[in-house]
Structure 1
Amino acid sequence: MSDLANEPKTSRGPASTYRVQLRPEFDFAAAAGIVEYLRELGVGALYTSPILDATPGSTHGYDVVDPTRARPELGGEEGRAALAARLRDADMGFVVDVVPNHMSVEVPAANRWWSDVLRHGRDSAYAHYFDIDWSRGRLLLPVLGDDAAVAELTVDGDELVYHDHRFPLAPGTENGTPQEVHARQHYELIDWRRGNTELNYRRFFDITTLAAVRVEDPGVFQATHGEVLRWVAAGEVTGLRIDHPDGLADPGAYMRRLREAAPDAWLVVEKILHPNEDLPQTWPVDGTTGYDALRELAGVFVDPVSEPDFTALAEELGVHTDYHDVEETARRLVTDGILVAEVRRIAALLSAVDTGAARSAVAEVMIAFGVYRSYLPEGEPNWAAAVARARKARPDVNAALDALDVAVRADPRGELATRIQQTSGMVVAKGTEDTTFYRFTRFAALNEVGGAPERFGVGVEEFHALAAAREAGRPATMTTLTTHDTKRSEDVRARLAVLSELPGEFAEAVERWTARRGIDEPSLNLLAWQTLVGAWPITPERLHDYLDKAAKESKLRTTWTDHDEEFERAVAAWPGEVLGDDELAAEIAAFVARVRGHGWSNSLGQKLLQLTSPGIPDVYQGTELWDLSLVDPDNRRAVGYETRREILSRVVAGELPEVDDTGAVKLLVVHRALTLRRDRPELFRGYRALRAEGAAASHALAFHRSEDLIVVVTRLPVGLEASGGWRDTALPLPEGTWTDVLTGRRAGAALSTVLGRYPVALLVRGEP
């Protein structure tokens, strides 16, 4: 089949990955305990959250305090080595999450580098490890309840103490009152509210307890990566997932240095690509962590015809429906209220420009970015587009914009260009993912990391084009449907996609429900009803935690730092009131029953697409069964592996589960697809669209991965059922005998037969 995209293809990556969230309650030993299960499931590599030493008690590991050792709370070096050996014996890879951009400074005593900087100031051997602006004199630490709380400080030995916070003292400064001792330190404790406006060290987004690391310095790179690279050199770690590359001073140079140090490792980066954006060609990496593929895989199950209906519903309820206006407002909130210190630091580099105009110009360019950041000089078109949009939005500061543009272009690797690029990603992420996605709630299934909520779904032809491009360009990129960062799990999105086929029914239901027990904030109200339908059944506690986070992230009526207590009490009471209203709860349950089966069809369809389309698929912990999790920390709940082992044993023995609420059929699909991918990799090289013929052809999505492998899934199942099913629709199969790997049954051309048992099929020519 010569027209298969870029066929044949080889790759250094694993056949697939399975992501686990390690924590003290699920440590290296626990991960080793599921290796046999994962191997039998068909997984190619275990993929873990960060495993270097982190803040005591950390539940996620991204708050690294010591990159020179495996985390003791997970089992330390002994536990890590035992896990690596277990994986090697199972012929599985080991992929580790690496955090190069920042370290936790929440507990100074836990971070010996930061503690040394606090003790010795700019004379510390580690002062250059962190991105600190010493021009103010002292390092500002925003931890006090207010500035007057300096009176509450005490001295305990060689530490300055403020309640639970303890800070090291500079040598010879321990005498006198606590306030006098404080005045002698290389740091100054200030009101926590001043952090957003006055902070003089770079942080991770708006989190002052995560201090940025200058990994662009070769010595700092070696100090922070030496241990992980030792594991790679020993063959114990086979792949690296790089967290938040947009925060680095020079991501391209970092990637090249990392590739030189780990020439054979599979490297993927947590880079969020906007539609039509590609990774810079100069990055020697295998791809992204898959959010771009997520948008495509989930979007093809959304019916674009219903966009006007959802817009009308949102407008009727009072939800803003101009996406770009909502996004611009949210980003401006970030530049003007959250990342003020960062904007000021950048603007100060334009010394010849009026201070106010410089700040406005810097903020406006970052608000105007169409992507997370430009990578100058190669990303010049993105920079130019942002400047042009800024000029249009703020002609009153065009002179400052001109000066900024000239300065950045003159030295694209200089401090000004570097800092504005690092910060633009923060503005976009905080403004779009963490604010807009909780305000623009027209159709929540689209509000996903890497998503484009203003684009109502993905067409079949677009899907094929993007899949073929992925196979041709980066066949070893990761693909995903659920991660620890997704706003909702793949199965919640799959169920919500059904609503795009029932816009009228859903609108009528939401209008009734809102009249009965609505939330007094339109965007949260619409999001809440979608969440109830998507995640049903859900406990009041889980729903409360989600809505509390959503309300604060939207920053409309309350925030994490500026609370509207009365509104928060009303939101906290809402889950109990709704679920305790028997009549209303019964009506919601009946509506969910109407869409549940179609949601299962969508879930199986998008999962099989992910597991078989170009790229290396990742299965997030527990999602081999139905998983109706919401945003973190809900999606980091413990996984019941005993249940999964028992179901897998039945599937391996030949059981063909029903499509029901056990989710066993999803595990069947995952097992058969991953096993085939691992055992017969030659079947997964290439890509060519295959188009069904007949009355219901638009409801089938099919493609070749090779001459001998065909994937076919059902889309828009409500419309398919309403139109009378598959009828005469057929798939033009090439000559030969075709067998469905999922069922073991021979397959003919008629889709009514191919998709008779399940809404998806994985066809292999000959015997599987």
Structure 2
Amino acid sequence: MPTGPTYRVQVRPGFDLDATAQIVDYLADLGIGWLYSAPLLAAVPGSAHGYDVVDHRSVNPELGGEKARLRLVAALREAGLGLLLDIVPNHMGVARPETNPAWWDVLRRGPASPYAGWFDIDFTRGPVLVPVLAEESAARADLVVDGDELRYHEHRYPIADGTGDGTPRQVHERQHYRLVCWRRGDRELTYRRFFAVSDLAAVRVEDPAVFAATHAEVLRWAAAGELDGIRVDHPDGLRDPAGYLARLRAAAPGCWLLVEKILEVGEELPPWPVEGTTGYDALAEVCGLFVDQSAEAAFTALDTALTGRATSWPELTHECKLAAATGLLAAELARLVRLTPPLPAAEAAAGLAELAANHSVYRSYPPAGDRHLAQARAEAGRRRPDLVATLDRLTARLRDPADELAVRFGQYTGAVQAKGVEDTAYYRWSRFVALNEVGGAPQRFGSSPERFHRAAARRAERRPAGMTTLATHDTKRGEDVRARLAVLSEIPERWAAAARRWTARAGLPDPAFAHLLWQTAVGAWPIARPRLHAYAVKAAREAATTTTWTDPDPAYEAALHDLVDAMYDDAALHAELSALAARITPGGWSNSLGQKLIQLTMPGVPDVYQGTELWDHSLVDPDNRRLVDFGLRRDLLARLDAGWLPPVDHEGAAKLLVVSRAARLRRDRPQLFTGYRPVPAQGPAAGHAVAFDRGGAITVATRLPLRLAACGGWDGTAITVDGEVTDVLTGRCHSGGPLPLADLLDPYPVALLVTSAPGRQR
């Protein structure tokens, strides 16, 4: 387990392994303990993320290949850094079959292929359906036979031995696959996939032979001492996550193991042999601290006024999940139904979809997770009393972990939750979008310090080696966007007046989405126009209220672009938006520094997402995968190390100061971070402070800064410490006893205290 933080780098074409090696010295200077890398195995050519692996036997040549990997490992070892690698056991990329040897062979030989058992294909339903064609009947006229390949425009497919004679259509009909209209993928697919992505085919990693083949290279690196930790992508998609993780732990006993498991509020990680999750639960705990809970009623009233309907998170999520369960994931639902005779198919489909739509977590693991299934059954019965008998029969089977229906239902509910909530409801629920984050609970308006302390103490006790984070490649908004938006909760009346005025001046047919877009723009302002246009289209298609990915609405999207353009071209609107953004920016900076210091010093191993050591106002991917200016960060860090104490301003060097000093302290003096104790404040402004002692390192942060200023500042509020302490951010010493926060939190709204001077950290 690393002592210092990890640092996530999106290694990809355009920023390859050699480019990553060139920043290792900077990461070491920053205080980072381990590099946390995106997937490195060979992926679909041009992949910007690496999650579409096509060959587990080699490093992606577009990243520099094996020699570049070894150069990176050498650089890390020379600098004393470890390596945490993201791996993808659940699926493989099949968008370009010719680049995936295993998939190519399955398409060529069908069930007779030695790789047929690699993929979760239902061969009983005939040829493998490949949803790639335009309108089907006309598109097949574009098929071409080229040697031993069948081609459709740029797409290439193998021809089975002895089937190459005749017209392209005749050849096509003899294959072990059928090229069909792309629209049939959601309804009729014959292989399990990743969520609703037909270009990602699920892998049967529960088979020991498949596990061995797909993990051999990564495990070779671990055995050679070239890999220190493994982050497992989407374990809920696996047939048997517990069994898989036990096998992985046995194969890499010395590795730090993490899972990308999204836990809902109150949900505990199953008793898997891993150190913890990748930290979305910590993200929600930290960010909620900076939201003013007293503003909930005002934001609810505003949303109701703008949309003309009362907000209801449970009803919205049910609607979105049921749509995903029966639409995007219709093929997966049909496969479940085929396991339910003698139940009538229509009743079984309705019952399973309703259970999934009412399932409150990504996946329950019977018998330990039976309470989640019981809750889903109760709510489904309330909504569909006509299905009570069917629900009871289904639930009896779903409680049995050995039942094939229960296994596949677990894989199905995770996809329903992800597509229905993360990728749809989060874009429709516009009450307060700072809370619309992966692993979050938008219906819970912020969090109190007391709740945070309870969660942190529980983390210290149960999963001290789990990861904490504020941003990932999957978060919907950058951490500093959320921090700035949190300030709006302190001025709800001003925000309501602005949102009403702007909506009346430049609205959309969908006022809820307009409200989401106004908030996002203010949180990221100033933002380059093309970035906001791209975000608006993606977000609107994800919301799927008027326009969708499969059926874009040109008129609605034109109106959407007009709204974005108005933010720049309407002088009065532009001035108002800029003025409000400027008004909340200083409070946003205070929140950013507070949440970052807390995340870096709370129980767990902190991760720093690439570039977020300065202000980061990125939006959802691919916006958050943009190249990072490491040269700028090197220069600023050098100035800090020369003694510069930067102002809290647009440059963001104050955040770099917080990150570097906290990271170095965790790396160099881990003994200061072995416990957890809340440090209460005393005085009239005590509710604006959050502080805790990790066993020698004391974190102090400001919350709700606008309200604090409005009530006259700290006004004698203090915390009490034993003995002399030094603030590692400023180098200032403070005597023991009551420490007035007005003195301690000046010039920065945060402090990191140690009970003895740490000396120079380099």
Displacement of 1:43 in angstroms is 0.2
Could you tell me whether the CA contact under 8 Å between 2:9 and 2:36 is conserved in 1?
Answer: yes
Aligned with 1:373: secondary structure? coil
What are the residue-to-residue correspondences of 1:130-529 with 2, within 5 Å?
Answer: 130-148=119-137, 149-281=139-271, 283-318=272-307, 321-409=311-399, 411-529=400-518
Whole-Å separation in 2 of the counterparts to 1:527 and 1:392:
31
Displacement of 1:14 in angstroms is 4.3
Counterpart AA for 1:717:
P
Residue equivalent to 2:733 = 746
Displacement of 1:583 in angstroms is 1.6
More moved, 63-72 vs 605-614:
63-72
Displacement of 1:398 in angstroms is 1.9
Could you tell me whether the CA contact under 8 Å between 1:376 and 1:413 is conserved in 2?
Answer: no
Counterpart AA for 1:546:
Y
Could you tell me whether the CA contact under 8 Å between 2:675 and 2:694 is conserved in 1?
Answer: yes
Note if 1:85 corresponds to 2:71: no
Residue equivalent to 2:32 = 43
Displacement of 1:519 in angstroms is 2.1
Aligned with 2:394: secondary structure? helix
Could you tell me whether the CA contact under 8 Å between 1:740 and 1:762 is conserved in 2?
Answer: yes
Could you tell me whether the CA contact under 8 Å between 1:121 and 1:127 is conserved in 2?
Answer: yes
Counterpart AA for 1:377:
P
Could you tell me whether the CA contact under 8 Å between 1:153 and 1:179 is conserved in 2?
Answer: yes
Displacement of 1:154 in angstroms is 1.1
Residue equivalent to 1:721 = 709
Gaps in structure 1 of 5+ consecutive residues: 1-11
Counterpart AA for 1:718:
L
Could you tell me whether the CA contact under 8 Å between 2:151 and 2:157 is conserved in 1?
Answer: yes
| CA distance 1:566–1:76, shift in 2 (3 Å) | same
| CA distance 1:610–1:309, shift in 2 (3 Å) | same
Match of 1:117 among 85, 102, 106: 106
Could you tell me whether the CA contact under 8 Å between 2:567 and 2:577 is conserved in 1?
Answer: no
Displacement of 1:570 in angstroms is 1.5
Counterpart AA for 1:528:
L
Aligned with 1:214: secondary structure? coil
Whole-Å separation in 2 of the counterparts to 1:412 and 1:611:
39
Displacement of 1:243 in angstroms is 0.4
Structure 1 segments of 4+ aligned residues over 4 angstroms from their partners: none
Could you tell me whether the CA contact under 8 Å between 1:14 and 1:93 is conserved in 2?
Answer: no
Whole-Å separation in 1 of the counterparts to 2:121 and 2:32:
43
Could you tell me whether the CA contact under 8 Å between 2:725 and 2:754 is conserved in 1?
Answer: yes
Whole-Å separation in 2 of the counterparts to 1:230 and 1:91:
21
Whole-Å separation in 2 of the counterparts to 1:263 and 1:377:
27
Could you tell me whether the CA contact under 8 Å between 1:369 and 1:424 is conserved in 2?
Answer: yes
Could you tell me whether the CA contact under 8 Å between 2:398 and 2:409 is conserved in 1?
Answer: no
Whole-Å separation in 2 of the counterparts to 1:566 and 1:109:
39
Aligned with 1:435: secondary structure? helix
Could you tell me whether the CA contact under 8 Å between 2:3 and 2:666 is conserved in 1?
Answer: no
Could you tell me whether the CA contact under 8 Å between 2:34 and 2:83 is conserved in 1?
Answer: yes
Q: Deviations over 1:618-645 (max 9, x none)?
A: 0000000001000000000000000000
Displacement of 1:532 in angstroms is 1.1
Q: What is the aligned residue count?
A: 753
Could you tell me whether the CA contact under 8 Å between 1:203 and 1:212 is conserved in 2?
Answer: yes
Displacement of 1:13 in angstroms is 3.7
Could you tell me whether the CA contact under 8 Å between 1:346 and 1:416 is conserved in 2?
Answer: yes
Could you tell me whether the CA contact under 8 Å between 2:2 and 2:34 is conserved in 1?
Answer: no
Whole-Å separation in 2 of the counterparts to 1:107 and 1:517:
43
Match of 1:733 among 702, 710, 721: 721
Whole-Å separation in 2 of the counterparts to 1:207 and 1:240:
24
Note if 1:23 corresponds to 2:12: yes
Q: Deviations over 1:73-92 (max 9, x none)?
A: 10101100110111011110
Whole-Å separation in 1 of the counterparts to 2:397 and 2:482:
44
Could you tell me whether the CA contact under 8 Å between 2:469 and 2:608 is conserved in 1?
Answer: yes
Whole-Å separation in 2 of the counterparts to 1:527 and 1:406:
41
Whole-Å separation in 1 of the counterparts to 2:426 and 2:724:
48
Aligned with 2:35: secondary structure? strand
Could you tell me whether the CA contact under 8 Å between 1:438 and 1:523 is conserved in 2?
Answer: no
Whole-Å separation in 2 of the counterparts to 1:569 and 1:254:
48
Displacement of 1:413 in angstroms is 2.5
Counterpart AA for 1:107:
R
Gaps in structure 2 of 5+ consecutive residues: none
Aligned with 1:528: secondary structure? helix
Q: Deviations over 1:195-214 (max 9, x none)?
A: 11111100001110000000
Counterpart AA for 1:115:
W
Whole-Å separation in 2 of the counterparts to 1:80 and 1:570:
47
Counterpart AA for 1:720:
L
The percent of aligned pairs where both chains have the same amino acid is: 56
Whole-Å separation in 2 of the counterparts to 1:469 and 1:349:
40
Whole-Å separation in 2 of the counterparts to 1:147 and 1:136:
19
Aligned with 2:178: secondary structure? strand
Whole-Å separation in 2 of the counterparts to 1:254 and 1:60:
24
Counterpart AA for 2:618:
S
Whole-Å separation in 2 of the counterparts to 1:425 and 1:137:
27
Aligned with 1:201: secondary structure? coil
Q: Structure 2 length normalisation: TM-score?
A: 0.98
Q: Deviations over 1:168-222 (max 9, x none)?
A: 0001111000110001000011111111111110000111000000000011111
Displacement of 1:320 in angstroms is 5.3
Aligned with 1:618: secondary structure? strand
Counterpart AA for 1:76:
G
Aligned with 2:245: secondary structure? helix
Could you tell me whether the CA contact under 8 Å between 2:397 and 2:403 is conserved in 1?
Answer: no
Displacement of 1:378 in angstroms is 2.3
Whole-Å separation in 1 of the counterparts to 2:511 and 2:222:
51
Counterpart AA for 2:715:
R
Whole-Å separation in 1 of the counterparts to 2:37 and 2:470:
16
Counterpart AA for 2:422:
E
Counterpart AA for 1:761:
A
Whole-Å separation in 1 of the counterparts to 2:756 and 2:103:
62
Q: Deviations over 1:489-521 (max 9, x none)?
A: 000000000000000000001111111112221
Note if 1:630 corresponds to 2:619: yes
Note if 1:95 corresponds to 2:47: no
Could you tell me whether the CA contact under 8 Å between 1:366 and 1:427 is conserved in 2?
Answer: yes
Could you tell me whether the CA contact under 8 Å between 2:503 and 2:511 is conserved in 1?
Answer: no
Q: Deviations over 1:228-263 (max 9, x none)?
A: 011111111101111000100011111111111111
Could you tell me whether the CA contact under 8 Å between 1:311 and 1:321 is conserved in 2?
Answer: yes
Aligned with 2:254: secondary structure? coil
Could you tell me whether the CA contact under 8 Å between 1:17 and 1:46 is conserved in 2?
Answer: yes
Whole-Å separation in 2 of the counterparts to 1:74 and 1:669:
32
Q: CA RMSD in A?
A: 0.9
Displacement of 1:547 in angstroms is 0.5
Q: Deviations over 1:20-62 (max 9, x none)?
A: 0011110000000000000000000000110000000111101
Aligned with 1:386: secondary structure? helix
Could you tell me whether the CA contact under 8 Å between 1:320 and 1:440 is conserved in 2?
Answer: no
Displacement of 1:108 in angstroms is 0.3
